Amino acid sequence: MVTIKDIAAMANVSRSTVSRVLNNSGYVSEEARKRVEEVIEQTGYVPSGYAKSLRTKQTKVIGVILPTIQTETPSRVVTGLGRELSKHGYQILLANTDHDKEKELEYLDLLVRQVDGIVLIATNTEPEIMEKIKSIPLPLVMIGQETEKVMCVTYDDYHVAREITAFLIQKGHRRIGFIGVDETDRAVGYMRKKGFFDEMEAHHLAVEEAWVEKCVFDIYSGHEAMKNILNRSIQQPTAVFAVTDRLAIGAMSYLKEQGFEIPQDMALVGIGASELSQYVDPPLTTVDYKNETAGEEAAKQLLAHIQGQEFQKKLVLDYRLIIRDSV
Amino acid sequence: MVTIKDIAAMANVSRSTVSRVLNNSGYVSEEARKRVEEVIEQTGYVPSGYAKSLRTKQTKVIGVILPTIQTETPSRVVTGLGRELSKHGYQILLANTDHDKEKELEYLDLLVRQVDGIVLIATNTEPEIMEKIKSIPLPLVMIGQETEKVMCVTYDDYHVAREITAFLIQKGHRRIGFIGVDETDRAVGYMRKKGFFDEMEAHHLAVEEAWVEKCVFDIYSGHEAMKNILNRSIQQPTAVFAVTDRLAIGAMSYLKEQGFEIPQDMALVGIGASELSQYVDPPLTTVDYKNETAGEEAAKQLLAHIQGQEFQKKLVLDYRLIIRDSV
DNA sequence: CTGTTAGCGCATTCAA
DNA sequence: TTGAATGCGCTAACAG
């Protein structure tokens, strides 16, 4: 492997000079620069990243920890992150925890010494993890979960849920069901649920227990939830608010199996603006969270932090209600 | 930052001894090991990855280059890769080219000095890229495209296409349309098309030009392709084979807009077994390529290569026809 | 079983 | 404007 030493020898200069042209720092005569550049061109020399890192204490790498890359939210966020980071010469080290808390803890430790900053996507916020996170001596940003003392880029899940519920009510629905997820997921589980219930209460609308289901994050779970709601309810709801598109789509598939017409027999809304949502039948009313933008913003703030510039500690992103035919 | 030197001092041993317990190499007395481990525990010390890399010439990082992470194929592959790699202590450095050839070339150069091996997912195989690839002095595996001289994990696109075409024919279809992609994509564009035409010819079935469309990889493109086929054909096909699920789903959405019943008025098949495919109406007949397995296998072969063990230069993976209601 | 030594490839003083 | 010298944190002979 050709090193800076070889280049120096071939160009008849010292390593320092090569280093200077490499980094465009300090004085280098035109002549010397030209010689060095020629040799670099010829040899196809690329400096060793880790040697450089060892010296400068910068890796130009950002660690990204996520529970899965197979759903649209994280993959969109990663796309946004990558776009912004690559503009500044940073790369992404990907750590997929596969929803495993232990792995998340491990990765956090592992990454500390290998990256300049960390992005956490859709982590759960249980104490053990939060404690570890707070102990990380590196710029770190969480996307999708709001927490104290940690930099974060989030959505206003509470008001989204209120707005979407209000929309259902405005459309004439009075009995509305709810398909949520565990409340340990503060953003998706807790805030969206709270938004829903608060809005219902504000309209003096009751929510029967039979209309409420708790799922995990997959389509089939939404399917089963809808089944449970239907089987259990004395008086059935006329609309259901599912906290994610996948859940809504699962619910939709069950409704169709049972011969329900949507939205006449049952209205349905989700959140996420998944690609899926526009190609199911009928197209799903949902909320666009602009995940790529979230990724870009998170990257910007994180880099600002890393470079010692001013940055936003909390950033709440915009959203957009997409009204389609499922309501 | 606490270094190996600090640990050594605190445990009253030399740096070598600390290194030995860290790497479980050479002899270390129980007593010394215990002291060292205690100090490490207390301080939360983690060795510096790049210092280690500089010394050992190993980064324990694999570079993964892909055109997008927002479609299911690459994200599944990455999941498989990650699962297998993490078992062996390797990590993933993600390079998203956003379908940009220049970026791909750049990343290839950049990664060379930062990783122990490279995985290329769904790259196009044009000469300029292939040349660069061949010049990479690192173990490298391509997933999804078969090429000479480069290690690869692929699917048997040709026979998949023949089989799926045969299936349509066996179901009684004689006039079959084809929605493909550019043939510069050898696997998806060229092989699948060839498989289709060869199978049709083997059954002495003609394919009218009007039934054949070339798309880009998105749902809307499939929608437009179906529109074109319908508008252009004197005698319309009774079935359409789309080379990806997304294309098929786009086609399906146009057919529904036009009031077609599927499969009675038009049968439809795709390839990919996307999650989407089972929740559209009717569920799409498709082919499961087991992308996660491809990722795992690619990782295994690549690691074998890196570790100087025997490895498969070419690996062709299994597939599975999933028959649903769109035919 | 353990410590001393050397050097990986680079950036950065400091002197010239 | 340039080069010599130093050291980042670690591993791997080697000698004890």
Residue by residue, DSSP assigns A267-316 as EEE-SS--HHHHHSSSPPBEEE--HHHHHHHHHHHHHHHHTT----SEEE
User: Would you say residue B1 has pLDDT above 90?
Assistant: no
Q: How far is A106 from chain B (nearest CA, A)?
A: 11
Average pLDDT taken over every residue of chain B: 95
Which of B93, B113, B279 comes nearest A91 by C-beta? B93
Tokens of A141: 């940003």
Q: Could you report the average pLDDT of every consecutive run of 10 residues in chain A (327 residues)?
A: 93 94 91 94 93 94 96 96 96 96 92 94 88 93 93 96 98 98 94 98 97 95 97 96 97 95 97 92 95 97 95 95 96
Predicted confidence (pLDDT) per residue in B235-274, tens digit: 999 999 999 999 999 999 999 999 999 999 999 999 999 9
First-residue to last-residue Cα distance in chain A: 63
Q: Is the shortest CB-to-strand distance from B56 to strand C under 7 Å? A: no
The chain A residue lying nearest B223, using CA atoms, is A279
Protein chain B, residues 8-37, with a C-beta closer than 7 Å to any atom of nucleic acid strand C: 12-17, 20, 26-33
Asked if the Cβ–Cβ distance from B46 to A112 is below 8 Å, we say yes
Cα-based distances in Å from B113 to A47, A50, B64, B86, B151? 7, 8, 14, 21, 20
CA of A10 to C1' of D11 (A): 30
Q: How far is A72 from chain B (nearest CA, A)?
A: 7
pLDDT at B43: 94
Higher pLDDT, B26 or A254: A254
Tokens of A120: 């956490």
CA of A24 to C1' of D3 (A): 17
Q: Is the shortest CB-to-strand distance from A27 to strand D under 7 Å? A: yes
Q: Look at chain B and count its residues.
A: 327
Q: Closest Cα to residue A64, out of A82, A50, A52, A49? A: A82
Q: What are phi and psi of B287, to 5 degrees?
A: -125, 130
- Kindly state the helix (H) or strand (E) to which residue A222 belongs, with its residue range: helix A219-232
How far apart are alpha carbons A312 and A302 in whole angstroms? Answer: 9
Q: How many CB atoms lie within 10 A of CB A5?
A: 11
pLDDT at B316: 96
Which of A51, A109, A252 comes nearest B54 by C-beta? A51
User: Chain C: nucleotides under 7 Å from a protein CB?
Assistant: 1-13
At residue B122 the predicted structure's pLDDT band, cuts being 50, 70 and 90, is confident
The model's pTM: 0.94
How far apart are alpha carbons B199 and B208 in whole angstroms? Answer: 15
Asked if the Cβ–Cβ distance from B83 to A76 is below 8 Å, we say no
Asked if the Cβ–Cβ distance from A280 to B275 is below 8 Å, we say no
B56: nt with nearest C1' to CA: D11
B269: exposed, middle or buried (Cβ count in 10 Å: 0-12, 13-18, 19+): buried
Chain B partners within 8 Å of A109 (Cβ): 44, 46
Chain A partners within 8 Å of B249 (Cβ): 279
pLDDT at A123: 81
Separation of CA A42 from chain center: 42
At residue B126 the predicted structure's pLDDT band, cuts being 50, 70 and 90, is confident
